[in-house]
Amino acid sequence: MVMGGVIIGVILIALDSKLHFFIRNKKPEKYNGAVEMNSNETYFTKIEFGEIQYDFGKVKEGDTVIHQFKIRNIGDEPLMIYKAKGSCDCIMALFSTKPIMPGTEENIKVYFKTIGRKGQQVKTVNMHTNTDPAENMLTITGLVE
């Protein structure tokens, strides 16, 4: 019985180089970002944020808060922002649809309209990019008086 276990273990180790039984970080076959495609046909890159959260402090109701988030492509492929969706209709992001080339920076301008939003606020923008993970979140917080 022990010998049978040893034989099975040797066979699994020998087949591992071809079938990859023991590799944890296998690339998923499908990329499920803003668009769905085969992972081996997708060019992934890496993104770096100057900040992911901004506290605007206190503002009066009716004001529009505007903040620019800096993003940098630190990968080897062009960075694409497919979409940016706010947590409500009061927040939106403006960004370039042009690729961000490796080593370069861009700004994402986030607008928060405070009309009808009195009190402590936490609003987010989910960005879908060709990075892994595909979603990145930017947050704006503050108090509307």
| Domain residue ranges of the chain, discontinuous segments joined by + | 39-144
CA-angle at 96, arms to 40 and 140, nearest 5°? 100
The answer, as to whether pTM is greater than 0.75, is no
- Please return the burial class of 67, using the count of CB atoms within 10 Å of its CB with bins 0-12, 13-18 and 19+: middle
Backbone angles phi, psi at 3, to 5 degrees: -65, -35
- Please return the burial class of 111, using the count of CB atoms within 10 Å of its CB with bins 0-12, 13-18 and 19+: middle
For residues 130 and 80, give the distance between their C-alpha atoms in angstroms, rounded to a whole number: 6
Instruction: Specify the CATH superfamily of domain 39-144.
Output: Immunoglobulins (2.60.40.10)
Residues whose CB falls within 8 Å of the CB of residue 46, separated by 6 or more in sequence, listed in order = 73, 74, 75, 131
* Cβ–Cβ under 8 Å, residues 110 and 140: yes
pLDDT at 53: 97
Below-50 pLDDT ranges, the chain: 34
For residues 40 and 29, give the distance between their C-alpha atoms in angstroms, rounded to a whole number: 7
What's the pLDDT tens digit per position in 55-85? 999 999 999 999 999 999 999 999 999 899 9
pLDDT at 28: 52
pLDDT at 97: 86
Q: Which of 59, 71, 49 is nearest to 112 (CA)?
A: 59
